[in-house]
Structure 1
């Protein structure tokens, strides 16, 4: 279907475009998504030592999108003050995606910052944490290098199972409910095992790149339980659906 046909059909039917798209997808109930605020950056998006790319807050307990937006903005700006006090003024520089990029090495330290800030702001019951690991960035010869921004040293690489155990530690100790791209895009077995055992939302982005063949494989092998669709990777919303 050409990109113009979907809006043309929605106009012809006299329904909003979002409603027509929902009908095409067989979705009877339309809701606004919970916004994900990217507040700490690492990986290739920042000049710090963090291996994992994005640490996000998700205001899942907000009563409306407006309230979720307010909570996200409030936590983001308060986090800036905390980072400045703990790491200095230079630490409030932002990465490519707009999150802060304090010069910390341990991914767990980023989670600790978020957990404490969420708690002090009084949003423990309303805000949870999501991560975009972008693990393909630090995949090395079947293993993973969580210090990939330092000179290469194969002795520090960890196995997919060890990385999965690290994620499960994060899930136990912090309100982490969503992890995007936890493994390399071709580490299918690790994806499948983690999705089956983690109990959280496991998002495929680099895994599928909105490619129909990779999407089909991910679904059939149950490699993830959530898909991130990027229209720019396939051409149109209709093709994505």
Structure 2
């Protein structure tokens, strides 16, 4: 029965029979799990977000819009993987996307004027060869102002460091652009300097996934000032999330449905994070399709945030377009978190 999502997902897990879904594969299991949810929504005559979230599912998410790619997503020497716009100062999702698009094009013109490349990285953001990680932030500040907005007030910034990509076995971190190797304490100090200088409200994967001692220090030092998101740290695994919460690591969880493999486990991870007071960010993957399930999921669970790439490339914009349709369908019933979303303190 399609309406019995938890039972279907449990049957899939039992059929696989392995702790890491290696027999059937997480992607294959997920495809069935999500198809069941869609079939149940269709049978109930409801939009997917309404079926999953009920009458309470009406919060449109603030988009974290990737506009400069680095790290493993671009061959340009920048260590940090994603530099994102956070248009939390908008009064609706539709206006937030409009603002992000305007800044995206302002950034393109700014890069062109500086004779820098405007080719796109894996997630649709620009991938220019810049002199430093902070140079990317400087360009974002210029582009926001060029588009007529106020950095911090209208549009804030977010980073996905993806520190596991440059973490070393000895608990140190190799910054290729600068040619230096530093420890987690020095890396945290650099983040503090960035937060002091720029309107950064969210930092994802600031340290390596195995550097739990460093994560505890990072959370103590910066968790009261910015959102600290665990992606590689938690891998959308409820058991790992529970361990991280107990140790006081991070204050938000990135949610990727195909990391954990079933819709039921994804909902469990979200519920666990929310009960602990952690933020939730629904996310796409670097390799994506035009499927829009994550857009409906973000609204259904009132996540408040979505990370689904840039405002270029159809596999990224498909999610934004679906959210625009949902906002239009909800009308006055739609809710928008805005700036209040980033007033959380450390957990």
Instruction: Using structure 1 for the length normalisation, give the TM-score.
Output: 0.88
Q: Distance in 1 between matches of 2:52 and 2:242?
A: 21
Query: Matched residues in 2 for 1:5 and 1:121: separation?
Result: 43
Q: Is the 8 A contact 1:40 1:55 kept in 2?
A: yes
Alpha carbons of 1:5 and 1:92: their partners in 2 closer, same or farther (altered >3 Å)? closer
Q: Tell whether the 8 Å contact from 1:6 to 1:238 is kept in structure 2 after alignment.
A: no
Q: Unaligned stretches of 5+ in structure 1?
A: none
Contact (CA 8 Å) 1:39, 1:100: kept in 2 or not? Answer: yes
Residue 144 (structure 1) aligned with residue 173 (structure 2): yes
For 1:177 and 1:212, how far apart are their aligned partners in 2?
25
What is the Cα-based RMSD across aligned positions, in Å?
A: 2.1
SS at match of 1:206: coil
Which of residues 247, 272, 283 is equivalent to 1:221? 247
Find 1:22's aligned residue among 36, 53, 68. 53
- Matched residue, 2:229: 203
Q: How far is 1:5 from its partner?
A: 5.3
Offset from partner CA, 1:161-195 (integer Å, 9 cap, x none): 10001011111100100011000001112112212
Name which of 142, 145, 156 aligns with 1:128: 156
- Any conservation in 2 of the 1:75–1:117 contact (CA below 8 Å)? yes
Instruction: Report 1:23-62 matches (<5 A).
Output: 28=56, 30-62=58-90
Q: Deviations over 1:20-55 (max 9, x none)?
A: 4336xxx94630101111100110111111000000
Match among 113, 124, 127 for residue 101 of structure 1? 127
Q: What does residue 192 of structure 1 align with?
A: 216
Range with bigger deviation, 218-227 or 49-58: 218-227
2:204 corresponds in structure 1 to: 180
Cα deviation digits, residues 93-113 of structure 1 (max 9, x gap) = 111111111111310110111
1:236 to 251, 262, 269: 262
The structure 1 residue matched to 2:118, chosen from 66, 78, 92, is 92
**Residue among 169, 173, 182 paired with 1:158:** 182
Contact in 1 for aligned 2:67/2:126 (Cα 8 Å): yes
CA distance in 2, matches of 1:29, 1:189: 37
For 2:41 and 2:124, locate their aligned partners in 1 and report how far apart those are by CA, in whole Å. 35
The alignment of Structure 1 onto Structure 2 pairs a total of residues equal to 231
Q: Would the alpha carbon gap of residues 235 and 169 (structure 1) be closer, same or farther in structure 2, given more than 3 Å must change? A: same
Give the Cα–Cα distance (whole angstroms) in 2 for the partners of residues 107 and 87 of structure 1. Answer: 18
